[in-house]
Structure 1
Amino acid sequence: MSQRLTNKTAIITGAGSGIGSAIARLFAREGARIALFDLNTETTAALAAQLQEAFGQQCMACVADVTQPQQVQRAVVQAQDALGPIDILINCAGVNVFRDPLGLEDDDWQRCMEVNLKGPYNLIRSVLPGMLARHYGNIVNVASVHGHKIIPGAFPYPVAKHGLIGMTRSLGVEYASRGIRVNSVSPGLIMTPAAEAWLASCPDPQAERERQAALLPCKRIGEPDEVAYTALFLASDEARFINATDILVDGGRSQVYHD
């Protein structure tokens, strides 16, 4: 066990499942104290207890709707009081909103932007003062391959993810001289519960799974742990000269010009 995050405190949003929970498990194994932010308190409380028992690190669950700034601020204060100053923020909470542009309801647009773009900003605004005061902080936003390439039928999700990558770069440059690094990771197709549910909804789930894997240069679908390891690297001091950048974690799919 390498303990790459010993004596570090991390907040992870969207920690209840998928990529968020994979990051939480890896960070706890690597020595971090962790606050798990999610809407599902039952799931996150169980995960926090499991991680604390397994790895001996302080872990806690916090109720947090990332779209609500006051709720976010209260949860951040709760985490700081229990675990100490926040060293690392992982913005993983997100929601898929895929609609026809002309049929898009205002509520769907608002939900997409509030969760996927404003949510990360709410968390960053809450942890940034403490990070600036200590001249140290690592922020990793979980963006998407949709922030690089446009997939028909996925509007307005790519708009939010392009914005999140832009915010990553902007804030990374803005605060670089003050000890803060802001980076992002952009997963492609990863076998999360949401991806499993989508495949299950297809007329022939196994055929669709095989079709999706065949589209990837590596001929397999990614796993949450593979995104988690990228987030770990960016959040660690090993990546101390990496800032305001985005790392694609998509098996090379976005580099293929034509199927």
Structure 2
Amino acid sequence: MINFNGAIISNQELQLSNENRAFKYGDAIFETIKVVNGKVVFFEDHYFRLMASMRMLRMKIPMEFTLEFLQEEILKTTKSISDSGSFRARLNVYRKDGGLYNPKSNDIDYLIEVSSLEYQEKSTYKIDLFKDFYNYSGLLSTVKTNNRMLNTLSAIFAEENDLDNCVLLNERKGVVEATNGNIFIIKDNVVKTPALTEGCIKGVVRKKVIEILEKNPDYTIEETVISPFEIQKADEVFITNAIIGIQSVTNYRKKTFTSEITKKIKSNLNILMVTS
């Protein structure tokens, strides 16, 4: 089922015009959100990221777009399928139809798509670099726009090469993120993740993992520049996003990783998902 500007409709009922700006120009942003048994996980973080992105892209934020309103719209959509269970919800916000590069209006439409979610962490998870194109560093790269061509191409590359995921690089050939999430590497008790200035998405789970590590005196967390060579030298590597939470990486080229510290971080994250 789909929620289009507050109306619950079937997929078949949705009609987008040829003037739809998300389709024509990628003039849209989105949040992928996990819903479990009527709880919208980490929604406050998703909400404030959405508001910051809308302001950055000069979209007009409707008066009714409060945290409570959008949370209820998401739950209304999941309940149209079931009152319980796990769901993936995608909240898409885009400028109303019309205009060329310059839009006719900065007013927005919104669309919420919901599907049932059954995800299990993979016991074997292989990654490698995607080097065909770069994810250019800069503030705009940190926003989840609908322009995901680089991610699409890297996902195709992963499938063609029997990989589970790819690592994206920026124009300086520094590590940015994975195809579908943020990346962390662990060496001894130091945990590193690419800084936002490298061009990575401001991931909600990335933020939560950093908060967990900052409170733990046993580990040091660094948001910094990471070279691909450091992945090879790491003891552990993991990927984060709003749906999987944390996925351990087991293989990068000929290197095999352990997951002892990753499992501890994941346990803390799982507690946060239930209690926050």
TM > 0.5 between the two? no
For the aligned pair, the TM-score class normalised by the smaller chain equals under 0.3
TM normalised by structure 2 equals 0.25
Q: Specify which structure has the higher proportion of helix.
A: 1
TM normalised by structure 1 equals 0.27
Q: Specify which structure has the higher proportion of strand.
A: 2
Q: Which of the two has higher C-alpha Rg?
A: 2
